[in-house]
């Protein structure tokens, strides 16, 4: 089963939107602390609408705790990769990792994982909104796996 992981997310509405996507696709969502908000944050709840009861949410105190439970490949989405996510062969047990809105994923984590990027055509645009990136990554993996 695919898993979505947000490492150090900062903006509640982004996490809420990703939670809604995970609920719609029955995909577990993992958050790695520290978070830039409280789980009870009003904006987080609002972005997730009334779907929170359908989200399989797990919060991990740090990256090491996440790695201890991750049973599949860790696939980092990063601007530091030159391999397009469209050319990558996803597997059913992949854990899709997305970094914080302001810093992305830690570089020392990226070198330990499979890594892919979402190509940007404009040279001055380095990233997309976190919830858009997570949706693109998750749905490309699902498409490849016939889900």
Binding-site entries for S-adenosyl-L-methionine: 99, 118, 127
Binding-site entries: 99, 118, 127
Cα–Cα dist 106/78, whole Å: 10
Kindly tell me the sign of the dihedral angle through the C-alpha atoms of 140, 84, 89, 80: negative
Cα–Cα dist 7/30, whole Å: 8
Count how many residues are written for the chain: 147
Q: What are phi and psi of 122, to 5 degrees?
A: -85, 125
């Amino acid at each position: 089963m695919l898993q979505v992981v947000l490492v150090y997310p900062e903006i509640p509405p982004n996490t809420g939107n990703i939670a809604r996507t995970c609920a719609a696709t029955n995909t577990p969502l993992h958050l790695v602390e520290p978070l830039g908000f409280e789980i009870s944050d009003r904006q987080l709840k609002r972005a997730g609408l009334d779907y929170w009861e359908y989200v399989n949410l797990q919060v991990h105190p740090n990256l090491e705790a996440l790695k201890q439970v991750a049973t599949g490949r860790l696939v980092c989405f990063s601007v530091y990769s030159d391999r397009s996510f469209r050319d990558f062969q996803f597997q059913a047990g992949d854990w899709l990792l997305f970094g914080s809105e302001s810093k992305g994923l830690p570089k020392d984590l990226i070198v330990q994982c499979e890594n892919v990027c979402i190509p940007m055509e404009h040279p001055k645009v380095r990233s997309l909104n976190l919830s858009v990136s997570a949706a693109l990554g998750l749905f490309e993996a699902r498409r490849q796996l016939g889900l």
